[in-house]
Amino acid sequence: MQGVFPRIPSGCAVSGMMSRKGRRLSGEDIIKSIGLMHDRSNGLGGGFAAYGIYPQYKEHYAFHLMYHSQESKRATQEYLEKYFYLDQSEPIPVRKTPGITNPPILWRYFLKLREEVLVNANEFLQEEDLIVSLVMHINQEIDGAFVASSGKNMGAFKGVGYPEDIGHFYRLDEYEAYIWTAHGRFPTNTPGWWGGAHPFTLLDCSVVHNGEISSYGINKRYLEMFGYKCTLQTDTEVVAYLIDLMSRKHKLPIDIILTALAAPFWKKIDKNRPEKQAILQAIRMVYGSALMNGPFSIIVANSKSMIGFNDRIKLRPMVAAEKDDLLYMASEESAIRVICSNPDRVWPVQAGEPLIGLVEEGTL
Amino acid sequence: MNYLAPEFIHRIDKDKCRRCKRCILNCGFNALSFQDGIVADHSKCVACHRCVTFCPEMAITVEQNPLTYKENFLWTAQIQKNIQKQAQTGGILLTGMGNDKPYPIYWDHLLIDACQVTNPSIDPLREPMELRTYLGSKPEKLEFNQLPDGNVSLKTELEPQVKLDIPIVFAPMSFGSISLNAQKSLAKAAEQCGILMNTGEGGLHKELAPYGKNIIVQVASGRFGVDSNYLNAGVAVEIKVGQGAKPGIGGHLPGEKVSAEISETRMVPIGSDCISPAPHHDIYSIEDLHQLIFAIKEATNYEKPVSVKIAAVHNVAAIASGIVRAGADIIYLDGFRGGTGAAPYVIRDNIGIPIELALAAVDDRLREEGIRNRASLICAGGIRNSGDIAKAIALGADAVAIGTSALVALGCHVCQKCYTGNCSWGIATQRPELTRRLDPEIGAERLTNLVKAWAAELKEILGALGINSIESLRGSRERLRGIGLDQNVLDILGIKHAGK
């Protein structure tokens, strides 16, 4: 789907919850949590990411597609079949919901890569690189088709409307996930486009984002040097690609990535012991163009973790809470308390300091 | 016979004048004399305003000669005068400072963004605001070693980097083209501001050695003052290939300016002409440049970044790409408005391209080739204020160089007579009675004031943009809009028109 939409500055609400023990929880709570922050959205976008929802297909790539026409669906399927076995192909179940109008054709596929594809491919090509390039191809080249998510045992459910209505529309109360993230959108103009809603995903990584990245211009040009095309013109796309670049291509550990994205101030760096100083200096020198400057609070999730982090002077809100094995993060404390009335601990996520929640090993 | 009418009329208010003769002493051009009152030889006045500034009675003014020429858009007074001069002398016309012709100044057609509502602006008086910049080659990515204790250590070895507290360096101006006091002012100010000065091609005077941590030493085609100590005396070495004011042209410091001190610094005999050839005679190709870069790296133990300074010419993007691939850590791009102590008129005014276009083209090209990280870009040639700096950085520069601006801070009034060696302000001269006018302490203070004022303004601009670090502006062309520019120029600059 070509980038015909102007870049849209937006405000928003975010919420996320995970079980560190990998317990799967119904979508009811996350809908309630994001729904409480109704006034932080304006009805022009809402969405959810859910991990652990397809245990019966957990080795398959779960592709969630949005189609504007039967023709775009036909073209996409034809393209997918060249690379994958389409083990399951079905409409994403929805229910009629007031406030949700004109949805695109919503379809999902459970895909297995054809063995010969990687064999025939360039020997340096990793499976993940291939999947990313296929997703990019569909989004950019196939008219009217958009990949909402492409990871394993996870999915993104998003569209135009208030987030609680989107959750109801997609029947998320019927799914169970060990990580849920949600987003309510307040764009400052009207795209009316389902693909533009959050979460934004690539492979199993999803991003929900409240904020506007004032450094978007250089972040985008930096990514272009590595072959990423920022066609959706949303800040959030940039966040997802930066994380993808640094984790998948540069193989950097997550704490280094987050340090690059919300780097400490030089003043603070200068106070560190020399070895640590050298590391932080190098990160800022080399990844200066990846620094996300401007207000944001972001929840990034993948199949193993949920991470909340803010810009380095915390210009957008984020609160975290814990209760037993459950970890919560949200734009407002009320959005946590509405689903967890008596948390063990509640605290604000600090400026520039990520909160990393890991799913315990061996629990999945 | 001289057919030329004076360019300026020097007027003294006889009622105010107390005949103190201070103006006569101050004029470096011998334009004033005393014959029962101050008398001006208008033909010698260059409008440098030294006498105007130092007249205690404020009795002096200088005017453009109102002499009317028959109106003609083709045969302007300036054109006629140049022909007269050449008819009289048979020589190449010389001039000083940068191109002064009314070519477009693109800086003045660029507008900077600011935050309103959807993202907050930041108040630099309350929040940290970072201008720190490192010049040098950066790797494409970093690699780390996992340590047993769970920490990481840096596996990637970084190339040498030079720190700038403010993304400004002083442009290269040699001892010879400017006075030692002017160079000392620059060095002291560089130290005070945490930035760099550049020796230019005239070697390093021994009194500047203590400022080595704030000095780039230059190697130009004349190789004046270059030895192993010199190469290691600063924090970076620059190979000067070209200069914006005179691309493809060498330099000439006449023998009469080569005093004992210049002779010692340049390592040439007293009174001998210092000729810088047009090309380096060991660089006839890009592979030769590659060899010289690595010869210098060998000589400096790979501890100093090597910069290559080139003039902005038509094919600058491809040239810059070659220079990066030849191993340069920094590219210094000098636009056609860059200053000079002396250049042939015809070269200065007709050769080269505007720095704004060159900078955008080079930054684009290096990004397209995926090698932008491998060199820092310094942008020079007509940077006049902090607005120009912000725009240059948004177009893709890592830092800017200021030459003329710095000299103006020292008193220069851009009279363009640097090549005469008579600078009344003690800057572009070696005459001791003139150079001693420039007190390096006062000069350094004025330069420091200027640089710090621009730094404060840059922070205000960043704050308005809602960012708190200069690297978030660097190359962020999304934050610029053009006004009154055609689509072709907008495409080259990589920006949208205002309103879009």
Residue B148 lies in a domain: no
Give CA–CA dist B8/B52, Å, rounded.
13
pLDDT-derived band at B175, boundaries 50, 70, 90 = very high
Question: Is A265 near chain B, with CB under 8 Å?
Answer: yes
> Between A and B, how many CB-CB pairs are < 8 A?
119
Residue A190 C-alpha, separation from nearest chain B C-alpha, in angstroms: 15
Res B190 pLDDT > 70: yes
pLDDT (tens digit per residue) in A118-138? 777 666 678 888 999 999 999
Question: Is A293 near chain B, with CB under 8 Å?
Answer: yes
Q: Which helix (H) or strand (E) holds B161?
A: none
B323 and B459 both lie in a single domain: yes
Q: What are the angstrom distances between the C-alpha of B120 and each of A11, A262, B242?
A: 11, 17, 43
B349 and B442 both lie in a single domain: yes
Res A190 pLDDT > 80: no
Strands of chain A, DSSP E: 10-19, 25-26, 46-51, 61-67, 84-91, 105-113, 145-149, 154-159, 176-177, 179-187, 200-202, 205-211, 296-302, 305-310, 319-323, 326-330, 345-348, 355-358
Report the pLDDT value the prediction gives residue A364, as an integer from 0 to 100. Answer: 72
- According to DSSP, the β-strands at B376-380 and B399-402 are parallel
Q: A12 an active-site residue? A: yes
Say which range, A116-125, A267-276, B436-445, has the weakest mean pLDDT.
A116-125
Quote the mean pLDDT of chain A. 92
pLDDT (tens digit per residue) in A87-125? 999 999 999 999 999 999 999 999 999 988 877 766 667
B188 and B49 both lie in a single domain: no
pLDDT-derived band at A290, boundaries 50, 70, 90 = very high
Judged by CB atoms closer than 8 Å, whether chains meet at B466 and A295 is answered as: yes
B396 and B483 both lie in a single domain: yes
B332 and B231 both lie in a single domain: yes
Number of domains in chain B: 2
Single-letter amino acid, residue A155: G
Name chain A contacts of B143, Cβ cutoff 8 Å: 251
Mutation target vs A (from B143, B471, B474; most A CBs, 10 A cutoff) = B471
Name chain B contacts of A284, Cβ cutoff 8 Å: 471
Residue A86 C-alpha, separation from nearest chain B C-alpha, in angstroms: 37
B85 and B195 both lie in a single domain: no
Res B86 pLDDT > 60: yes
B264 and B372 both lie in a single domain: yes
Facing A294 at nearest CB: one of B161, B467, B475: B467
Report the pLDDT value the prediction gives residue A3, as an integer from 0 to 100. Answer: 44
Facing A267 at nearest CB: one of B128, B143, B152: B128
Token pair, residue B455, equals: 């730094």
Q: b vs e for B312-342, b when ≥16 Cβ sit within 10 Å of the residue's Cβ?
A: bbeebbebbbbbbebbbbbbbbbbbbbbbbb
Facing B144 at nearest CB: one of A211, A217, A253: A253
3-state SS string over B310-373?
A: EECCCCHHHHHHHHHHCCCCEEEEECCCCCCCCEEHHHHHHCCCCHHHHHHHHHHHHHHCCCHH
Say which range, A247-251, B178-182, B495-499, has the weakest mean pLDDT.
A247-251
Which domains, and CATH codes, for chain A?
A: 10-358 (3.60.20.10)
Name chain A contacts of B479, Cβ cutoff 8 Å: 217
Indicate the residue among B65, B91, B117 that finishes a domain.
B91
Give CA–CA dist B183/B338, Å, rounded.
18
Residues 83-112 of A with CB under 8 A from B: none
pLDDT (tens digit per residue) in B455-486? 999 999 999 999 999 999 999 999 999 999 99
Cβ–Cβ under 8 Å, residues A306 and A18: yes
CA B359 to chain centre: 15
Domain that holds residue B416: 162-497
pLDDT-derived band at B409, boundaries 50, 70, 90 = very high
Polymer length of chain A: 364
Res B141 pLDDT > 70: yes
Report the pLDDT value the prediction gives residue A172, as an integer from 0 to 100. Answer: 98
Residue A182 C-alpha, separation from nearest chain B C-alpha, in angstroms: 21
Res A300 pLDDT > 60: yes
B83 and B185 both lie in a single domain: no
pLDDT-derived band at A2, boundaries 50, 70, 90 = very low
Name chain A contacts of B472, Cβ cutoff 8 Å: 214-215, 218, 291, 293-294
B82 and B196 both lie in a single domain: no
Judged by CB atoms closer than 8 Å, whether chains meet at B144 and A294 is answered as: no
Residue with tokens 């040498």: B160
B28 and B168 both lie in a single domain: no
Single-letter amino acid, residue B38: I
Query: Nearest Cα to B357, choosing from B491, B164, B222, B455?
Result: B491
Token pair, residue B310, equals: 């080139």
In this structure, what CATH number is given to the domain that contains residue B313? 3.20.20.70
Measured in Å, how far apart are chain B's first and last C-alpha atoms? 60
Res B369 pLDDT > 90: yes
Judged by CB atoms closer than 8 Å, whether chains meet at A286 and B141 is answered as: yes
pLDDT (tens digit per residue) in A32-87? 999 999 999 888 889 999 999 999 999 999 999 999 999 999 999 999 999 999 99
Pick the residue from chain A with its C-alpha nearest to B366: A225
Facing A212 at nearest CB: one of B119, B161, B472: B119
Backbone angles phi, psi at B496, to 5 degrees: -95, 165
Burial grade of A207 (CB within 10 A; 0-12, 13-18, 19 or more): buried
pLDDT (tens digit per residue) in B192-202? 999 999 999 99
B217 and B71 both lie in a single domain: no
Average pLDDT of the residues in A152-163: 96
Residue A211 C-alpha, separation from nearest chain B C-alpha, in angstroms: 7
pLDDT (tens digit per residue) in B373-394? 999 999 999 999 999 999 999 9
Judged by CB atoms closer than 8 Å, whether chains meet at A295 and B128 is answered as: no
Judged by CB atoms closer than 8 Å, whether chains meet at B142 and A294 is answered as: no
Q: What is the DSSP string of A279-297?
A: HHHHHHHHSGGG---SSEE
Average pLDDT of the residues in B83-111: 96
Judged by CB atoms closer than 8 Å, whether chains meet at A285 and B144 is answered as: no
Judged by CB atoms closer than 8 Å, whether chains meet at B118 and A212 is answered as: yes
Res B286 pLDDT > 70: yes
Sign of the dihedral defined by the CA atoms of residues B224, B225, B226, B227, in that order:
positive
User: Torsion over CA of B229, B230, B236 and B240, rounded to 10 degrees?
Assistant: -140
> Among A12, A205, A230, A340, which one carries the catalytic annotation?
A12
Give CA–CA dist B165/B130, Å, rounded.
9
Report the pLDDT value the prediction gives residue A362, as an integer from 0 to 100. Answer: 80
In this structure, what CATH number is given to the domain that contains residue B23? 3.30.70.20
Name residues whose C-beta falls within 8 Å of residue A283's C-beta, 6 or more positions apart in sequence: A256, A259, A260, A263, B142
Facing B130 at nearest CB: one of A11, A265, A295: A265
Residue B112 lies in a domain: no
Pick the residue from chain B with its C-alpha nearest to A249: B141
Pick the residue from chain A with its C-alpha nearest to B123: A313
Quote the mean pLDDT of chain B. 96
Res A1 pLDDT > 60: no
Percent of all residues in chain B with a pLDDT value above 90, rounded to a whole number: 98
Residue B345 lies in a domain: yes
Indicate the residue among B42, B67, B91 that finishes a domain.
B91
Burial grade of A93 (CB within 10 A; 0-12, 13-18, 19 or more): exposed
Tell me the pTM.
Answer: 0.94
Indicate the residue among B71, B91, B111 that finishes a domain.
B91
pLDDT (tens digit per residue) in B35-49? 989 999 999 999 999
- Count the neighbouring beta carbons within 10 Å of the beta carbon of residue B492: 16
Judged by CB atoms closer than 8 Å, whether chains meet at B469 and A291 is answered as: yes
Pick the residue from chain A with its C-alpha nearest to B162: A285
Report the pLDDT value the prediction gives residue A233, as an integer from 0 to 100. Answer: 65
Q: What ipTM, to 2 d.p.?
A: 0.92
Residue B56 has what DSSP assignment?
A: T
